[in-house]
Structure 1
Amino acid sequence: RQSNPRVLPCLVALTKCDSPDAEVALELLREVLRDRFKSVMVSVTQKETLPALGRAIFDMFGIIRVYSKKPGKPPEMETPFILPEGGTVIEMAEKVHKVLAERFSFARLWRKGGIEGQRVGRSEGLKDGDIIEIHTI
């Protein structure tokens, strides 16, 4: 019988990166792990290290966060919609509500790097952190 191993993504979370021996331990781990696994250093006492863990997980699984905005209201940044990388405006509209996708007219896009409320169509590709305001007919 022939085995068929599956390769699964693996991420090593290197915790306690704030401990006194962290640099030495990191050097040893990198020597052992080499480039076989992606790793990220985190510490629960240094909250600024935690977003890197979330970002690494999203990158590993190829997913992005997209935020919704109702016309005339601020964006809802608490609960993003999760889409695959390369997801489109219409895919986001479908996640919000089926009727919203069916009655889609256009959307406005806000993106880091200078796009501020640009009018876009249903096939516009989305990136992590985009804010979308959907307009219907």
Structure 2
Amino acid sequence: MPDHRNLVKLAGHFSLVLAVDDFFLIHDRYIAEGIIIPLYAIFVIYLLVRHRGTILSVDGFAFFLAGGLLFMSVLVDAVQELMPVSYGLSQTFEEGFKFMDGAAWLYFCTRMAAYRLQVAPDHAD
């Protein structure tokens, strides 16, 4: 149980950091992407190594789907100048991957938060 609580806390803090970074464009304006993105990757790898059993028992597919979509968003952002499409289209892909990642991550976090909940039996009065 403490391992599960720790994972919920870490995922919540990671979600907050990602939201603040995305809202204030910290990775674009203040801290180089070459520094902040590897830190995110290291943290996700730490989560996976430290809590792999819990992650896989909760919903490993949703975790890896969210991670893959986040990777695709970062990849499109990193190579959008090299892509043979307009800036608007590359932004559409980047934001689309980010939106789907957010939905998958929300789904995983919801499943993770509800993982230890048990339905109380009905009591006849």
TM-score norm. by structure 2 comes to 0.27
The higher relative CO (CA closer than 8 Å, separation ≥ 6) is in 2
Structure whose residues are more often strand by fraction: 1
TM-score norm. by structure 1 comes to 0.25
The structure number with the bigger radius of gyration is 1
Structure whose residues are more often helix by fraction: 2
